[in-house]
Amino acid sequence: MKILVVCGAGASSTFVALKVRKAAAERGVAVEVRAGSADQLEAFGDLDVVLVGAHLAASVDELRARARALGASVAVLPAVSPAALDGDEALDLALDTRAAAL
């Protein structure tokens, strides 16, 4: 499964992507997790799930439409700081979002 974590500028998404990768490795879940800004969405191409930072909630409808054109589903991450975000929780959100789309 291919996951993209997006935020406004790409900095906090990198931190979250690392946590998701770690959680997936510990659980033996095969995922490819990348990070970037919302402006770069189309540049990432083939995606299954886009995890969106809560601070971009106002842009979710637009991001959902752009992601849908790429064949991806969108989920909004919990409204906590990237340092406090649990990697397992974010991974579960991505897995559940993908399962619901199938």
pLDDT in tens, 75-101: 999 988 777 889 999 999 999 999 998
What percentage of the chain carries pLDDT values higher than 70? 97
Residues 32, 20: Cα–Cα separation, whole Å: 10
Q: At what angle do helices 11-27 and 87-101 cross, to 10 degrees?
A: 80
Calculate mean pLDDT across residues 42-64.
92
pTM of the predicted protein model? 0.92
CB–CB of 75/54 below 8 Å? no
Mean pLDDT lowest for which of 14-23, 41-50, 54-63, 76-85? 76-85
14 pLDDT exceeds 80?
Answer: yes
Return all residues near 60 (Cβ < 8 A) that are at least 6 apart: 52, 74, 76
8 pLDDT exceeds 80?
Answer: no
Identify the pLDDT of residue 21. 97
Domains of the chain: 2-101 (3.40.50.2300)
N- to C-terminal Cα separation, the chain? 12
